[in-house]
Amino acid sequence: MSPTAPQARLHPRTIEAVKERADIVDVVGEHVVLKKKGREFVGLCPFHDDKSPSMTVSPAKQFYYCFSCGAGGNAIKFLMELQRTSFSDVVLDLARRYQLPVETVEGPQQERLRQQLSRREALLRALALASGWFRSQLRSPAGAAALAYLKQQRGLSETTLESFELGYAPEAWDGLLKHLQQVEGLAPELLEAAGLVVPRKGGDGFYDRFRHRVMVPIRDRQGRVIGFGGRSLDGGEPKYLNSPETEVFEKGKHLFGLDRATNAIRKDDQAVVVEGYFDVIALHAAGITNAVASLGTALSSQQITQLCRCCDSRRLVLNFDTDGAGVRAAQRAIGEVEQLALQGQVELRVLHLPAGKDPDDFLKEHGAGEYRALLEQAPLWLDWQIEQALEGKDLARADQFQQAVSALVALLGKLPQSAVRSHYLQQVAERLSGGQARLAQKLEEDLRLQVKGERWHGRASRWDKPGEVGLRERAEAELLRLYLHAPAHRGAIRRELRLRELDDFALQHHRLLWAAISQLEEDNLGAGRLEAVNRGTDPGEDLGDLDLPRLLADQLLMDQSELLNRLTPLLEPNELQRMVLAQPLLQLRGTTAVLERQRSLKRCRHLLDSWRGQNLETLERCIARLLAEENGNGSATASRSTAAAPPSGSGGATPALLDMESRIEALFVELNRDALHFQELYYSERLHIGHLDQQRCAGWEETLQAPAA
């Protein structure tokens, strides 16, 4: 193996230029949601498990410091520690970002870096030229139908068309390719790298990626065209086609319309996030210019961080469609920002327009005034999620009532502040009681106990022991692999997961895969039938008809290629993993028992810790307290003589003595209610773990005794 060539040293002028240009708030704010506090900014430290904001970022000193773990330094040091990269790599990356000239001590290395920067510029130039050509085609005879669609069906004015530089991709296979190749002299390989053309399957030439589509340029925050969104005009699929990921276009890092919405977001101190390009365009045309859209994927944490940098209040309003896909998109977006919202770092609200309309349709019928009014009244994310948990539920039916209660308990159990929990517990109890005050009070008490249990139930990472996270990841992966590759048993697996409350996977990439699986199955069976399978009222035999590994691979390849790489071992098991699938029901029982046991162990640790933290009142103190009460009532002497011993000649305890004993016991139970409750829960959980161990061992023994295939 040949030794690696030494990397050229950066010229001091480049290092100084980067230090001078890189703003600490800008750099840290790309990765941490910062909130202004006086002259400085504060946020959650990314270098340890920070529960409350302990990192301070000083614009004046261009310095960050964490008062909890001691991490600190300038912008370059921050990126070195966060990304685990070298000083030179960080400086080069910042130089590219700020378009600073790169100088090195050695000439060849400097030339290579210049070539990398010039390639990026070439890609941006190709995209800008393509945008201009698409605009010209919209005004040509070939674009007449597209222009009519934009003006008549979409109701867009000439001003809006020009402002967003909308265009048209003709139906020809190589119209853009010929123009950029013959007129502008650009190589097809460069156009492919920019996402504008696609190589033919036979390897002989290229063709245009976008054909017979209205073209919407996607720009970065500097206003440079980095990609396109194309809307089909003939009903062809997909309805919306985005540019692929390229060297200049990463979907999860950009937001459509942010280049023109930034100032309005700062001014209004609020960002509105919608689903589609034309929703953004319609809102901006109506004067609501603080609107942006995600780029065909779920809203990412990086996109949320970008928005939070633009408004001091961190107020984000999600206005997604009210159909199933829109609700799921809102739930995924909430999942990304939930922890920040729970800690008060972000004010997250959700707006669902009436009658299932999207912003574009709503504005056409009702106008900007009514939209603004609804925007101001948009409920907090938690209120919206409560409504989602209750929506469509017949609370008179026991099963649906229990489903609603379980969803609400899981939701309210996440709230860290007891005052906020109390507020929502009262609100939810009133909703569930149907306005009956006495029932509402009883429900509130029951919900409070269940929420306490939810908060104990092993959700906090502090109850994990070393190695348990890896065990959980392996067990979850085994369940998902089993579901994908044992299609005949999918109904049984779903029932078991629901029965054991294991269908909310702990690891994010597993949750995303399970959500994608559920969506595919829901599209084929319908939401009602899939829920019936989960409950065990439908065998779900036709679940096995779906080729989930292939469908998921195709879907993830288009939407989430990075996630696909991580999940490939689940979609394509090796020979050893396929051997393990030989007895799926035994594996299901053992694996679910492992996961449930792990959850119970964490709950035991929490209960034991809570039990130890109680101050027990002894029997002696209970007796002393009762005697003091008796003395206060003028009957202490009689009580003492009664408590000391039974009368002479008596063969047993007197009624007075028995009464005192029962009072002592009752007082002991009352004063130690919480400790005894923790004790009871702890021993109950240990008993449950014993049952789970029997399940695991039984499954293992049956596996050993089973004849070889």
**pLDDT on residue 106:** 62
Most confident of 176-190, 433-447, 675-689: 176-190
Residue 469, pLDDT above cutoff 70: no
**pLDDT on residue 656:** 61
Cα gap 215→150, rounded to integer Å: 11
Task: Supply angle C-alpha 257, 263, 267, rounded to 5.
Answer: 125
Residue range 628-647: mean pLDDT, rounded: 51
Structure tokens, 238: 């997909």
Residue 415, pLDDT above cutoff 80: yes
pLDDT tens digits for range 166-186: 999 999 899 999 999 999 999
Cα gap 626→620, rounded to integer Å: 10
Q: How far is CA 369 from the centre of its chain?
A: 32
Burial of 658 (0-12, 13-18, 19+ CB in 10 A): exposed
pLDDT tens digits for range 272-291: 999 889 999 999 999 999 99
Residue range 369-398: mean pLDDT, rounded: 91
**pLDDT on residue 708:** 39
End-to-end CA distance of the chain: 45
CA distances from 392 to 219, 353, 430, 444, 528 (A): 40, 18, 17, 22, 12
**pLDDT on residue 663:** 74
Q: Which residue has the higher pLDDT, 340 or 196?
A: 196
Residue 668, pLDDT above cutoff 60: yes
Length of the chain: 709
pLDDT tens digits for range 85-109: 888 889 988 988 888 887 776 656 5
**pLDDT on residue 654:** 56
Report the 3 state secondary structure along 496-555: HHHHCCCCCCCCHHHHHHHHHHHHHHHHHHCHHHHHHHHHCCCCCHHHHHCCHHHHHHHH
Residue range 650-669: mean pLDDT, rounded: 65
**pLDDT on residue 462:** 45
pLDDT band at 233 (very low <50, low <70, confident <90, very high): very high
Partnered with residue 380 across adjacent β-strands are 349
**What 8-state DSSP symbol labels residue 414?**
T
Residue 583, pLDDT above cutoff 70: yes
Cα gap 501→511, rounded to integer Å: 14
**pLDDT on residue 650:** 44
Q: Return the minimum-mean-pLDDT range out of 223-232, 497-506, 556-565, 632-641.
A: 632-641
Residue range 634-639: mean pLDDT, rounded: 45
Residue range 539-556: mean pLDDT, rounded: 83
**pLDDT on residue 100:** 84
On whether the pTM is more than 0.85, the answer is no
Residue 500, pLDDT above cutoff 60: yes
pLDDT tens digits for range 60-90: 788 999 988 888 999 999 999 888 888 888 9
- Count helices and strands (H / E) in the chain: 30, 15
- H helical segments located in 139-253: 144-148, 158-163, 175-178, 188-193
Residue 653, pLDDT above cutoff 80: no
| Interstrand relation of 271-274 and 315-319 (parallel, antiparallel or unpaired) | parallel
Provide CB contacts within 8 A for 16, sequence distance 6+. none
Sign of the Cα pseudo-torsion (426, 428, 434, 438, in order): negative
**pLDDT on residue 359:** 92
Q: Is 291 helix (H, G, I), strand (E, B) or coil?
A: strand
Q: Which residue has the higher pLDDT, 233 or 597?
A: 233
Residue 207, pLDDT above cutoff 80: yes
